[in-house]
């Protein structure tokens, strides 16, 4: 997704926030979003109730996502499919933090903000900052923090857009394959769905992350059942 307002109207202090949705689940895409605003717009969004997407109901996220899209100077979204995640981890031996840094750097380079706030997936934000800088071509002021989605409205806005996109993708999969729950390993509906799919098809679905321990365990259990 690319949303881009006309460049002449941008001020000199444009601010971007970057966050992700769907980093941990065994099913579905990971969605990365960068959203850029003029400072005065961030005050409007905060007043409207923009905050960490995890603190909002699905319907509220939908409403705020429309407002954010209307107000943003530019929005960039990158979706990473399960197949791409598996290739990065299993074939290229690139861990998820490095993969996320590579794609966040792409988003930042496309946005070209003056200041960018990033929610760090790494408990060591300094290390994630260094990862980002290795991949970035542009040189904005870079602020990388844990829980940035709770501290900075620009990051909250990005988290909402990412979460709404992720939820949309999961809804599309539900319509096609039935309700398998949230796609997280902690969701028993998700586990039951994967176990039943494995029994019926002999392999995991294409929208499963086969490099995940949960997926590999279900595959191994299915193999063991065949041997007994």
Query: What are phi and psi for residue 43, nearest 5 degrees?
Result: -65, -40
**Cβ contact 184:25 at 8 Å:** yes
Note whether 105 and 6 are within 8 A (CB). Answer: no
- Mean pLDDT across 165-188: 97
CATH number assigned to the domain covering 178-227: 1.10.10.460
| Tokens representing residue 167 in the block | 């939820």
Non-local (6+) Cβ contacts of 195 within 8 A are: 218, 221, 222
**pLDDT tens for each residue of 88-136:** 999 999 999 999 999 999 999 999 999 999 999 999 999 999 999 999 9
Residue 1 has pLDDT above 90, yes or no: no
Write out pLDDT tens, residues 44-86: 999 999 999 999 999 999 999 999 999 999 999 999 999 999 9
Residue 222, pLDDT > 70, answer yes
* Domain 2-175: assigned CATH number: 3.30.420.10
Q: What's the pTM?
A: 0.92
Q: Which residues of 84-96 are buried (b: 16+ CB within 10 A; e: fewer)?
A: ebbebbeeeeeeb
Residues 2-21: tens digit of each pLDDT: 555 545 445 568 999 999 99
Share of the chain above pLDDT 90, in %: 91
Residue with tokens 């299915």: 222
What's the mean pLDDT in 205-228?
91
Q: Which helix (H) or strand (E) holds 197?
A: helix 188-201
List where CATH 3.30.420.10 sits in the chain.
2-175
Residue range(s) of every CATH 1.10.10.460 domain in the chain:
178-227
Q: Which of 170, 167, 54 is nearest to 119 (CA)?
A: 54
- Sequential DSSP letters for 150-195: HH-HHHHHHHHHHHHHHHHHHHHHHHHH---TTS-TT-HHHHHHHH
User: Taking CA 65 as the corner, what is the angle to CA 64 and CA 69, rounded to the nearest 5 degrees?
Assistant: 115
Mean per-residue pLDDT of the chain: 94
Cβ atoms of residues 205 and 177 within 8 Å:
yes
Please list, in sequence order, all residues whose beta carbon lies within 8 angstroms of the beta carbon of residue 11, skipping any fewer than 6 positions away.
38, 39
pLDDT tens-place string over residues 122-174: 999 999 999 999 999 999 999 999 999 999 999 999 999 999 999 999 999 99
């Amino acid at each position: 997704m690319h949303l881009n307002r006309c460049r002449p109207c941008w001020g000199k202090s444009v601010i971007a926030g970057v966050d992700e949705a769907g980093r941990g689940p065994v099913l579905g895409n990971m969605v990365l979003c960068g959203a850029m605003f003029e400072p005065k717009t961030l005050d409007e969004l905060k007043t409207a109730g923009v905050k960490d997407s995890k603190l909002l109901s699905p319907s509220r996220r939908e409403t705020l996502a429309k407002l954010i899209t209307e107000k943003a100077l530019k929005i960039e979204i990158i979706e990473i499919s399960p197949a791409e995640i598996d290739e990065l981890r299993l074939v290229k031996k690139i861990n998820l933090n490095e993969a996320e840094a590579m794609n966040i750097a792409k988003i930042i380079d496309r946005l070209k903000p003056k200041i960018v706030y990033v929610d760090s997936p790494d408990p060591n934000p300094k290390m994630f900052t260094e990862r980002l800088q290795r991949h970035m071509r542009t040189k904005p002021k870079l602020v990388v923090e844990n829980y940035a989605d709770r501290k900075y409205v620009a990051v909250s806005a990005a988290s909402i857009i990412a979460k709404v996109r992720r939820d949309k993708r999961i809804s599309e999969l539900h319509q096609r394959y039935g309700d398998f729950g949230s796609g997280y390993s902690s969701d028993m509906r998700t586990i039951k769905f994967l176990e039943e799919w494995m029994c019926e098809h002999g392999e995991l679905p294409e929208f499963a992350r086969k490099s995940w321990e949960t997926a590999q365990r279900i595959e191994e259990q299915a193999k063991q059942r065949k041997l007994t």
